[in-house]
Structure 1
Amino acid sequence: MKTSCASHLLEKVREKNPLVHNITNQVVTNFTANGLLALGASPVMANAKEEVAEMAQLADALVLNIGTLTRETVEAMILAGQAANEKGVPVLLDPVGVGATTFRANAAKQLLKKVKMTVVRGNAAEVAHLLGVNGWESKGVDAKAANGDVSALAKQASIALQTIVVITGKIDVVSDGDEVLSIHNGHEWLTKVTGTGCLLTSVIGAFCAAGEQPLHASAAALLFYGVAAERAALSAKDKGPGTFQIELLNALSHTTGDEVLTLGKIGGVSHDKG
């Protein structure tokens, strides 16, 4: 995939103004909604069991985020996910802190069993936990330093979960089990603001709603988001994460396809599935 594809997809997202249905955690609801609006998408935050199925079928993408779970939320996610599957609406799972508690782990297993996911996005520790792979550390909902091959993990997870897998970190990786793409944009302040990863999953959902292959849509979203983060950090300079958070919203609105084309850094390699 080339940066020109990402640039093109960004323009398609802004033209389509996709409706992204988020069943997400309480910490990031406002930030996620504002981030999607800044990008040029339309957010909806509906989580009542009485309406989630109907809303999911009206949406162009559905994002399921397990950051602040309840039993009722899990039930709503399953209802929404199955309804989205029926209509061919892309479904994305963000397994926030999946290794922290048994409840989260069981919820993620239920969702993966009962809903066909288009994309799963998490940090390395979260994705490794979904596979039952040891050697990746986490603390609460945060991942610690990676100590393994992220590309191999993404490929393995994609094959096992039968979905596109995005692993975010210092270098972002996305795989369909065959092709592995790496994105080398972003800024360390993304780890200093709550909700930037959750927002990214929703941004990927908006790109998937543009109708392109989920692998390329995911990579395009990562490139755009990384370039926007770099632009935000430059605007915030030495003011710190608080200013960066505001500037990230500005950058999501103002980052152009031409900037993604010229500043995006992507690499990739194909692997044998056998």
Structure 2
Amino acid sequence: MDGSSPFESRIVPRQGPNFGLDGDIPRYWFGGDAFKTRFFDAMSLLFPEGEKFFIQCVRDFRDRIGDPELQAQVKDFTYQEGQHGMVHNAYNERIARQGVAVDKIVAQEKRILSWFRRNLPKEYTIAHTAAVEHATAIMAHGFMNNPEVFAAADERMRALYVWHGVEEIEHKGVAFDVMQKVADVGYGPRTLAMLYVSVMFPLHTFLIMRHMFEVDDVPNRARTWAKGLWWLYGRRGLMTRLLPHYLAYYRPGFHPWKAGDTQAYARWREVFDSTGGDAIAASNALLPA
């Protein structure tokens, strides 16, 4: 693809589906595994304030966008990110009832992102946003093209993360285009922002997980970490599989639409649309027969 993929015009401003988050979702909804569950739970805590930050950083350049198509994409990007925040907030309330210090974690993240907004150039914060959007998009592609990874997860939570991933794929080029075409951010700041995100995003996630393990009183914590980190970064780890797509961001001529298979996305859209918006059926349709 050459950066003008037809998928660029397919951002769909859907209302967040009903995932049944008020139901009997197990504490360890990912196959009874504490590490896998809390890895995704920790990311969920980061999403709502993160989504607000991304919206603000893109909107910083809204008045300078002359392309009507990009203006429309920014509007739809904003809607999708807002829906993500609302749905994850609803799930995070469930995590708070488990004893996790959700309010404290969210408040700390808000302070950090507010500091970014006050003290860093807007060109850097849009580069930061584009980097995170690439990271979430490649995770979405990876999860959707390797659906067996989520086979043991509760179908409601699997549906939530697949829906989120679908929308990350749909709008994955928006922040990048604003950064490159409007903010005129060059190769150096773009790649430095990605390096920062590559270190700090997993670090924040792991720090939240450490707190969650303490709340849960997880036994054999060292073994849990070792086994979980191998699941993420081992030879066939969840993140290891994404390495070629991740490294593509450092190519001078990179654009988000130049990489990422969309067959699984098309299948999800087909089932979601034909069932009147059943996100659980759509995500289940991606599982191996």
TM-score, length-scaled by structure 2: 0.26
Structure number with higher relative contact order (C-alpha < 8 Å, ≥ 6 residues apart): 2
Greater C-alpha Rg: 2
**Richer in strand (by share):** 1
TM-score, length-scaled by structure 1: 0.27
**Richer in helix (by share):** 2
